Amino acid sequence: MKKGLLIAALSVILSGIVSYVVAGKVAEQTGEVTEFKNELRNEQNNNIQNRRTVRADGDVMTGTYFSDAAELAVNSVVYVKVVKKARQQAPSMFDYFFGFANTPQDQVGVGSGVIISEDGYIVTNNHVVSGADEVQVTLYDNTVLDATVIGTDEATDLALLKVEGKNLQALEMGDSDELRLGEWVLAIGSPYDLRSTITAGIVSAKGRSFPNYDGSYRVESFIQTDAAVNPGNSGGALVNTSGQLVGINTSIVSLTGSYAGYAFAVPVNIVKKITDDFIQYGSVQRAVLGISMMDTDRGVQIADVRSETPAAAAGLKSGDIIKEINLNKVNTASEVQVQVSKLRPGEKAVVTVLRDNIQKEIMVNL
């Protein structure tokens, strides 16, 4: 009898210890999440205050604001010329009998770019400079400079160039997350070799993505605009009415290959991350969550959690509905992808999910 009472007493004590340890761990993680969220809120509040200061004088739209924005930005947009050297092939025996083979010609392509630092860093599209043997940029004052390709990223269609020049005017970067639907924007570039062309339009949509049929990894959450964009605009600037860079013009949707009212730009917040990575690390530092997702009427649902990934280690589960990442609301899989793409391996993210109709906040170490 005494032995039974002793065992029961020990069970109660051990149960209490286990409960205490588990509760302590939960409390510790909850405290960590709360502290991290407070840091994020403070950072967001500071950004909001800065944006209000910038926009204080720009709420009423007149032609003056277009002109002011254009004057601030146009000197920072460059003309990009790329040359792909022709590869000489050995002539076949038939060339000796039927005449000389045609001499292969170098391929020349053109696009646009944006100066993002006074020491000569220029951002453009990957598809503009991909495979180039020579790259030259022409500044607004017609100065021609040789450019070096620092890095390219096919997933975002961005590339970073470097030139050695004087009195380079860098374009100030804005915040693409704060763009509003219907907000006026200007597209600046060199369509059809017409250098420093400026067109105006509105933000038609945000977070646009396209079907990926080739299976390649892509980060897409385009800004859609109806500003006129044509071949040659690729890599050029999309700016707001404060003259700040909010996107890099990348593509259009058209049956003819020319402007049809649907143009797309890579958001500047993605541009910042990619260019910073190239400058600091020499390559893109891309965090991985380790999940597959699908868009549903309830939100972004986790379809699968891969083993031995940050998501698995943090306790994310198949069926979870992702609502926020680091306090940023997400409604589509592409928006989740963009939020994760802003982070680097080793950084943290608070992922807010809906599980069994209960909201949970989960800290993920990427």
Q: Each residue of 92-126: pLDDT tens digit?
A: 554 555 454 555 677 889 999 999 999 999 999 99
114 located within any domain: no
The structural domain count of the chain equals 3
| Domain span including residue 250 | 174-281
Q: Quick check: 216 pLDDT over 80?
A: no
| pLDDT at residue 10, rounded to an integer | 44
Q: What is the pLDDT of residues 254-299, one digit of tens each?
A: 888 888 899 999 999 999 999 999 999 999 998 889 999 999 999 8
Kindly tell me the number of DSSP H helices and DSSP E strands found in the chain. 7, 19
Q: Which of 147-161, 251-265, 307-321 has the lowest mean pLDDT?
A: 251-265
Same domain, 18 and 32: yes
- Burial code (b: 16+ CB inside 10 Å, e: under 16) for 173-209 equals bbbbbebeeeebbbbbbbbeeebbbbbbbebbebbbb
Q: What is the pLDDT of residues 235-262, one digit of tens each?
A: 999 999 999 999 999 998 888 888 889 9
| pLDDT at residue 58, rounded to an integer | 45
1 located within any domain: yes
Q: Give the model's confidence band at 55: pLDDT under 50 very low, under 70 low, under 90 confident, else very high.
A: very low
333 located within any domain: yes
Same domain, 296 and 271: no
**Residues noted as catalytic:** 127, 157, 234
Out of 217, 248, 281, a domain closes at 281
Same domain, 258 and 333: no
Same domain, 360 and 293: yes
90 located within any domain: no
Q: 339 with 323: CB under 8 angstroms?
A: no
Out of 266, 281, 296, a domain closes at 281
- CATH number for the domain including 185? 2.40.10.10
Residues of the chain with pLDDT > 90: what percent? Answer: 60
Question: Distance (Å, rounded) from C-alpha 286 to C-alpha 201?
Answer: 32
Is-above-0.85 flag for pTM?
A: no
Same domain, 183 and 239: yes
Q: Give the model's confidence band at 19: pLDDT under 50 very low, under 70 low, under 90 confident, else very high.
A: low
49 located within any domain: yes
Same domain, 258 and 309: no
202 located within any domain: yes
| pLDDT at residue 72, rounded to an integer | 94
Same domain, 298 and 224: no
Out of 234, 261, 281, a domain closes at 281
Q: Quick check: 218 pLDDT over 90?
A: no
Q: Which of 24-33, 132-141, 320-329 has the lowest mean pLDDT?
A: 24-33
Q: Which of 33-42, 61-70, 344-353 has the lowest mean pLDDT?
A: 33-42
Sign of the torsion formed by the C-alpha atoms of 110, 216, 273 and 243: positive
132 located within any domain: no
Same domain, 185 and 277: yes
| pLDDT at residue 307, rounded to an integer | 92
Question: Distance (Å, rounded) from C-alpha 285 to C-alpha 267?
Answer: 18
- CATH number for the domain including 339? 2.30.42.10
136 located within any domain: no
Question: Distance (Å, rounded) from C-alpha 315 to C-alpha 362?
Answer: 8
| DSSP secondary structure of 240-294 | -TTS-EEEEEEEE--SSSS--S-EEEEEHHHHHHHHHHHHHHSS-------EEEE
Same domain, 273 and 237: yes
Same domain, 319 and 271: no
Same domain, 255 and 295: no
Same domain, 242 and 225: yes
Average pLDDT for the chain: 84
Sign of the torsion formed by the C-alpha atoms of 193, 195, 201 and 207: positive
